[in-house]
Amino acid sequence: MQKPIIVLVEYDFHNGNIDKDVFLFLNMKKAKAFGKNLARQYLENNKLTESDFQGEFDTFEVEEDNSWYSFITWLDSECDKYNVFVYEREFEDAVT
């Protein structure tokens, strides 16, 4: 059985929007492209570039290898967090 590729988006914006979105893929290349597009759209829609994350407490990290991708941001001046994670993981039941 093939493991799904998970694209997890976490966001917490100062204006009150807090949520997580999950998308499932069977192909890592397509999942990464989708995750990268979400990250690009976040930056474009908010008129941001990497250079906007230069404050003492700001975070802008992009990492990738063959089996995962991550885009992690924190813009302290706006109290905005936007993260995208792409990784392979077996499904597990939630602990209740």
Q: Is residue 66 part of a domain?
A: yes
Q: Is residue 93 part of a domain?
A: no
Count of domains for the chain: 1
Q: Is residue 95 part of a domain?
A: no
Spell out the long-range contacts of 69-77 with Cβ–Cβ below 8 A and sequence spacing 24 or more.
69/31, 69/32, 69/35, 69/36, 71/35, 71/36, 71/38, 71/39, 73/42, 75/48
Q: Is residue 56 part of a domain?
A: yes
Q: How far is CA 24 from CA 12, 59, 69, 71, 79, in A?
A: 21, 26, 14, 17, 28
Q: Which domain holds residue 9?
A: 5-88
Is it the case that residue 1 has pLDDT exceeding 80?
A: no
Confidence class for position 56, pLDDT limits 50, 70, 90: very high
pTM to 2 decimal places? 0.90
Q: Is residue 18 part of a domain?
A: yes
